[in-house]
Structure 1
Amino acid sequence: MKTVICLLLLAVMGIACSSEPAITTEMLDGGTLFDPSIYKPENYLVSKAIPNPTPDQAKKPVIIACHGYSATTFEWDEFRAWANGRTDLYLSQVLLGGHGRSYDDFKKSTWHDWQAAIMEEYDQLAKAGYTNISLLGSSTSGALLLQLVSSGYFANRLTPRTILLVDPIVIPSDKSLSLVGLVGPMLGYFETQQSVSEDKVFFHFRPQETLQQLQNVLTIVRKDLEKGITLPTGCSMKVYKSKKDSSADPVSAVLIYQGTKTSDGSPVAVELIDSELHVYTRLNLRDQVTAKDRQNQTATFTDIVRRVLR
């Protein structure tokens, strides 16, 4: 019976499934490969690099960049490289809880754990005296950031300057995610189709427990958007969304636009990007990258910085 279900899901979801992952030493969690921010947090987190800022440093804009489900800090490495040499802002690349480590850690983590890493860096920066903090999230981090706002997390905290979402997921493109709660426990792990190079920075196998957590947080955010989410006073938001996306249905941007308002009732900004890539700002290790893809990436990076600095 399990084999039949697995074959059915393979046909529907386009991925393989197995009860135990075959992890090699060349993969993330291969015994030697883990996210580098674990070893050198000061290279990724402003709270670790400059824990006691001067008054001038504390005023400088800080962008907290958060990656997506099953990814690592690698997802924003190109933004860091693009901004290298800038002295007018700081960048914190947060590793979501449970990610970038072992499959056991990942499997045991909840979406609250994923989100907690964002909250920790935000609170550490605010506690240190930084006064200009913005949040940048890709894919699942978009949902995590929306839930932070709707939960009232910022009610008694420093208000973020702006929240910027790249290909946020609210509605999955693959509608079979809703089946994970039913058949996931019988299958264990789902195997993704990605390159050997990507195996070093993205989990090759996805534990069914984490897919259920993903489904849970997306359901919560959809309900929050139906009720309406209001940004904190003085906070703006922009959504950058690929027109074609194999992971995050473009209708996600529509739901965010309809369900999120600024404190004065104004709509949030949404820009549809002429792209077929999910998290189109990450181009390294992809099989095919066009000149248009590079233009999209540069234009978005430029706009992100412009919005943070204005």
Structure 2
Amino acid sequence: MPDAKPFKSRLGDLWRFRQPLDLTQAGDLDHPHIPPRVGAKLLSAQGAPEILPEKCLITVHGFSATPFETHFLLDHLLEKYPAWQGSQIMLGAHGSDIAEFRKASWQDWQRPLEQELADLQRLGYPNQCVIASSTGCTLLLELLNRRCFPAVKQLVLVAPLVEPREKTMRLAALARKAGVQAIANDFDPDWIACWYRELPLHAVHELDKLTRKLRRELKKGMVLPPDLEILIVQSRRDRVVDPHSASLIAQGLPHNHLETLLLDSHWHLPILPRPREPREDLIRWRVYAKIEQFLASPLRPWPETADLP
């Protein structure tokens, strides 16, 4: 998603980008014939496990990106815990020809996530944890609100998008009618080549519809399995997600054990390496340690009602 900018500045961007963008470079995700640097690796493709893993980690990335967003964290966890297994999901219409992204719905983005969770459940993979980032969190919560996956026991939500920092995202429908085709994605110069530089207004409008839907569901109150544990990781000065999103999730999930880790960081994704910013990279390692602690030390199962004093 684009960085938060003053309202007048963003309106100027919308007017300037009435024509298709021509900003891509040879190594960019949306440059013709360039495959994603990190693609999907589905655990379900291996079939039923011969030896059940202690834990199954499923990662899902955010809007306009690929699994690169979470693969540094996933690689770290799998290297430290060899008995764990991982699955990297690529959202639908992502990581391929951007022409597909220009016309896909948010349901299209979500479909591979739902399919992989269903396949892992069918194949008998136990003790699943979903690690999601940004819009991946939005898609995940919407999915879990309407479909139960009993093997999913833990969620790690990194910068979950409920309320965007960029309020003008809600103008996407009007901007499309005015002839705007796309805006530029410019929020993370360190990793920009791993996102689509072009954000089609159709896709931004779909994202707006998705976040509005989730906000409505959270306001009504969502009923997820009570033994589902949730960890939220959120930067206080996130340039993309309004940090109030974490509070909206906590209020909308009153029956779940939920922890929130608020970081003194300005990065949207504090799980990505920042070699040029030693302090931010130190924050990343602290986040990894907290996530590892959360995953390795789950709460004891809830007792049956008859066993309660």
Interval of TM-score (by shorter of Structure 1 and Structure 2) = 0.7 to 0.9
Aligned length: 287
1:172 aligned to which of 164, 167, 172: 164
The structural deviation recorded for 1:10 is 6.8
Report if the CA contact (8 A) 1:149-1:230 is conserved.
no
- What is the CA deviation profile of residues 257-283 of structure 1, one whole-angstrom value per residue up to 9, with x for unaligned ones? 11112xxx3552212111111011123
What CA distance in whole angstroms lies between the structure 1 residues aligned with 2:111 and 2:220? 24
Alignment of 1:4-19 (within 5 A): 11-12=9-10, 15=13, 17-19=17-19
| Partner residue in 2 for 1:91 | 86
What CA distance in whole angstroms lies between the structure 2 residues aligned with 1:13 and 1:245? 21
Residue 278 of structure 2 corresponds to residue 290 of structure 1:
yes
Change (3 A) 1:84 1:133: closer
Q: Which amino acid aligns with 1:89?
A: W
The structural deviation recorded for 1:200 is 3.2
Residue 44 of structure 2 corresponds to residue 47 of structure 1:
yes
Task: Give me the TM-score of the superposition, normalised by structure 2.
Answer: 0.85
295-304 or 183-192, which moves further after superposition? 295-304
Report if the CA contact (8 A) 2:57-2:131 is conserved.
yes
Change (3 A) 1:143 1:47: same
The structural deviation recorded for 1:308 is 2.5
267-276 or 77-86, which moves further after superposition? 77-86
Q: Which amino acid aligns with 1:127?
A: R
| Partner residue in 2 for 1:119 | 114
- What is the CA deviation profile of residues 22-80 of structure 1, one whole-angstrom value per residue up to 9, with x for unaligned ones? 24443213223122555xx5xx22222x32311x3x24211111111111111112113
Residue 109 of structure 2 corresponds to residue 108 of structure 1:
no
| Partner residue in 2 for 1:273 | 263
The structural deviation recorded for 1:130 is 0.5
The structural deviation recorded for 1:214 is 0.4
What CA distance in whole angstroms lies between the structure 2 residues aligned with 1:215 and 1:297? 29
What CA distance in whole angstroms lies between the structure 2 residues aligned with 1:243 and 1:165? 15
Report the 3-state secondary structure (helix = DSSP H, G, I; strand = E; otherwise coil) of the residue aligned with 2:230: strand
| Partner residue in 2 for 1:244 | 237
Consecutive aligned runs of 4 or more in structure 1 exceeding 3 Å deviation:
13-16, 194-200
| Partner residue in 2 for 1:222 | 215
1:73 aligned to which of 67, 78, 82: 67
| Partner residue in 2 for 1:3 | none
1:187 aligned to which of 170, 180, 193: 180
The structural deviation recorded for 1:9 is 6.9
- What is the CA deviation profile of residues 123-180 of structure 1, one whole-angstrom value per residue up to 9, with x for unaligned ones? 12122220111111111111111111222x11xx424111110111111111111111
Task: Give me the TM-score of the superposition, normalised by structure 1.
Answer: 0.85
What CA distance in whole angstroms lies between the structure 1 residues aligned with 2:7 and 2:181? 13
Change (3 A) 1:195 1:146: closer
What CA distance in whole angstroms lies between the structure 1 residues aligned with 2:233 and 2:145? 20
What CA distance in whole angstroms lies between the structure 2 residues aligned with 1:180 and 1:301? 35
What CA distance in whole angstroms lies between the structure 1 residues aligned with 2:35 and 2:161? 25
249-258 or 28-37, which moves further after superposition? 28-37
- What is the CA deviation profile of residues 165-224 of structure 1, one whole-angstrom value per residue up to 9, with x for unaligned ones? 011111111111111111134110111226777343110000000000000000000000
| Partner residue in 2 for 1:33 | 34
| Partner residue in 2 for 1:158 | 150
CA RMSD in angstroms comes to 2.3
Report the 3-state secondary structure (helix = DSSP H, G, I; strand = E; otherwise coil) of the residue aligned with 1:231: coil
What CA distance in whole angstroms lies between the structure 2 residues aligned with 1:281 and 1:199? 15
- What is the CA deviation profile of residues 223-249 of structure 1, one whole-angstrom value per residue up to 9, with x for unaligned ones? 001001122142111111111111000
Gaps of 5+ in 1: 1-7
Report if the CA contact (8 A) 1:159-1:235 is conserved.
no
The structural deviation recorded for 1:295 is 2.4
Report if the CA contact (8 A) 2:182-2:200 is conserved.
yes
Change (3 A) 1:167 1:197: closer
What CA distance in whole angstroms lies between the structure 1 residues aligned with 2:293 and 2:12? 39
Report if the CA contact (8 A) 1:108-1:209 is conserved.
yes
What CA distance in whole angstroms lies between the structure 1 residues aligned with 2:55 and 2:277? 31
What CA distance in whole angstroms lies between the structure 2 residues aligned with 1:77 and 1:164? 14
Report if the CA contact (8 A) 2:121-2:151 is conserved.
no
| Partner residue in 2 for 1:132 | 127
Alignment of 1:193-204 (within 5 A): 193=186, 198-204=191-197
- What is the CA deviation profile of residues 63-98 of structure 1, one whole-angstrom value per residue up to 9, with x for unaligned ones? 111111111111112113423533031121211111
Percent of pairs identical after alignment?
Answer: 24
1:212 aligned to which of 197, 200, 205: 205
